Amino acid sequence: MTESSLDLAVIGNGRTAALVEPSGRIVWWCLPRYDGDPVFCRLLAGTEEKGFTDVVLDGQVESRSDYMRNTAIVVTELADGNGGTVRITDFAPRFQNYGRIFRPPQLVRIIEPIAGMPRITIRFRTAHRYGVPVTTRSSGSNHIRFWRDDVPVRLTTDAPLSHVENEASFVLTRPVHMVFGTDEPFEGTLESTCREFCDRTRDYWMEWVRRLAFSIDWQDEIIRAGITLKLCNFEETGAIVAALTTSIPEGPGSGRNWDYRYCWMRDAFFVVHALNRIGATRTMEEFISYILSIAAGRADQIRPLYGVVHTDTLEERSAEALAGFNGDGPVRIGNAAVHQDQHDVYGSIIMAATPMFFDRRLPKPGDAALFRVLEPLGEQAARLALEPDAGIWEYRGRKRVHTYSAAMCWAGCQRLEAIAAHLGLPERAAYWGEIAKGIGEQVLQRAWNPKRKAFSAAFGSNDLDASCLLLAEIGLIAPDDPRFVSTVEEINRELRRDFHVMRYVAADDFGAPETAFLICRFWLIDAMWEIGRRDEAREMFVDALKLRNCYGLLSEDVHPVTGKLWGNFPQTYSMSGLILTAIKLSRSWGDRYWRGSS
């Protein structure tokens, strides 16, 4: 087989999600949630042909695949050498039903003959226990149950069951329909229901996109990124996962294989920020509800990440039955970072909640009760701002007073000052203002390295870190301050590889990093834009868009030599960065229509 790539599309509905290859093969699907045991795990199975479903067209010579415009529906066409063509439509149902969102743990596949007499084979190979093929199954009149221990997966279809069970080829003379999901009887006529679900899901996404608001440039790119971020929001609890996969390495043979199917407070802040900028505020409201369940009365116990159900334990272990992406293991389940000290988490939560108090679009704005929940988080930020932690990059073998962590603690306290003033609480505003001032002065003094002429990665360190590019963005320092301008120039000199940007170059627990971090490129572009290097910033951004896969999506990392995407997928960090940078660099609608520019 050819080496796997990250040319994958995401289909999902806010409860379940799957990854689809351009050939129409579904290679990753966890059930019943994003962090569940994968039914389809071919993405991480090395050379083993297990854990997937596909449609094999006899004599295939061509395939093409793309999203249906402005939706999360994927349409794939396969063509043979005799004029036969098959169309595959894949989606997860999502639409308004009886006044609420219908989002069952289901995938729907419609297979249609478009031309000629195509001969196909339908393969449906399920797995459980992270990579163990399912061997027990039972059939009904129009379904097959695949027994995953005591929890079956049900395939309901009007395709010939015997052909599916035996992977026998047959001539496709009519459309066939397939519904994958939990073991629930399927009500209604399969064909009409699948068609209705497809139409209503299409209409839902079209309307969701229609309500977005952004500037004139890069609309298609922003829309695709926005839909993708929405698909990473587990709406039942409000959690936002960092990615939908586990253990796609940050680089070849790096050992940096992590499970990202969980909610990092830091990553979620960036997602909320990006979606707010395009008018999708509901995700923020749901995330705040998720945070309140965690933070109420337990501000001194906040972890950097949580499961989509916040009480889940995330102990890290290995999946021995999976060889890994392209055989590059290990495959990890859970994430040991849950036990780390990452002090920026307090600022991230407060900053994510801040728009609740100021955004006039919201039906229920933040009030004094929400402010009282946030204040203990601010107290922790004040207490820990200048203490060592594992930092934004989650070092496993050392602790330092990281500049980004300290700056985010400052940001949390400064936002509490602004919220208190907005709520008419002058004493609390003065209190938080004094704390923020003290932390800010310490950060600017102790993080500045006069020899490097830059703010360093940690107090007293000579290392540079791309996260320092955010110091102006969060408001700690003015973009035109000579110290920030110099920091941008030094990072541009040391961490940049052509147009790619490394997080850092100093060796860590796993040695010197090999791949560039995509979000860091967007941070550098933003910083260069702010200090006046706008032509160069725009050139770097246009080039960054070329890194997206064939569906317009990004993972976490890119190899600076090969340009190949690496890391978990789709990465919310990267997709958020794309949106925020596109909006910063874009012209307004008035630039085009009122001034007549092209």
d(CA 128, CA 147): 9
Identify whether the C-beta of residue 88 lies closer than 8 Å to the C-beta of residue 55. yes
DSSP designation for 17: E
The C-alpha angle with vertex 361 and arms to 360 and 367, in degrees rounded to 5, equals 50
Q: Which two tokens stand for residue 69?
A: 């415009």
pLDDT (0 to 100) of residue 589: 56
Local structure of 292: helix, strand or coil: helix
Helices (H), 278-314: 282-295
Phi-psi region of 371 (alpha: psi -120 to 50; beta: other; left: phi over 0): alpha
Residue 94 amino acid letter:
R
d(CA 229, CA 531): 29
pLDDT (0 to 100) of residue 597: 44
Identify whether the C-beta of residue 286 lies closer than 8 Å to the C-beta of residue 238. yes
Is the preceding omega at residue 330 within 30 degrees of 0, hence cis?
A: yes
pLDDT (0 to 100) of residue 4: 65
d(CA 565, CA 515): 9
Rounded to 10 degrees, the C-alpha dihedral 564/566/572/576 comes to -30
Global pTM reads 0.96
Residue 172 amino acid letter:
L
pLDDT (0 to 100) of residue 593: 45
Task: For 218, list phi and psi in degrees, rounded to 5.
Answer: 55, 40
pLDDT (0 to 100) of residue 1: 33
pLDDT (0 to 100) of residue 297: 66
Q: Hey, which bits of 103-175 come out as E strands?
A: 106-115, 119-125, 127-128, 132-133, 137-139, 143-148, 151-157, 170-171
* C-alpha dihedral sign at 511, 575, 276, 32: negative
For the chain, which residues make up each domain, given as ranges?
9-208
d(CA 124, CA 107): 13
Identify whether the C-beta of residue 531 lies closer than 8 Å to the C-beta of residue 416. no
pLDDT (0 to 100) of residue 519: 98
Residue 458: which of 467, 337, 290 has the closest Cα?
467
Reading the chain (598 residues) residue by residue, the pLDDT tens digits are 345 689 999 999 999 999 999 999 999 999 999 999 999 999 999 999 999 999 999 999 999 999 999 999 999 999 999 999 999 999 999 999 988 999 999 999 999 999 999 999 999 999 999 999 999 999 988 999 999 888 899 999 999 999 999 999 999 999 999 999 988 877 789 999 999 999 999 999 999 999 999 888 999 999 999 999 999 999 999 999 999 999 999 999 999 999 999 999 999 999 999 999 999 999 999 999 999 889 876 777 899 999 999 999 999 999 999 999 999 999 999 999 999 999 999 999 999 999 999 998 888 999 999 999 999 999 999 999 999 999 999 998 889 999 999 999 999 999 999 999 999 999 999 999 999 999 999 999 999 999 999 999 999 999 999 999 999 999 999 999 999 999 999 999 999 999 999 999 998 888 889 999 999 999 999 999 999 999 999 999 999 999 999 999 999 999 999 999 999 999 999 999 999 999 999 977 555 444 444 4
If one counts every other C-beta atom within 10 angstroms of the C-beta of residue 516, the result is 25
Contacts of residue 444, Cβ cutoff 8 Å, sequence gap at least 6: 476, 477, 483
Local structure of 517: helix, strand or coil: strand
3-state helix vs strand vs coil in the chain, percent to 5: 35, 25, 40
Contacts of residue 118, Cβ cutoff 8 Å, sequence gap at least 6: 57, 58, 78, 80, 84, 85, 86, 171, 172
Residue 139: which of 119, 108, 123, 163 has the closest Cα?
163
Chain centroid offset of residue 321 CA: 26
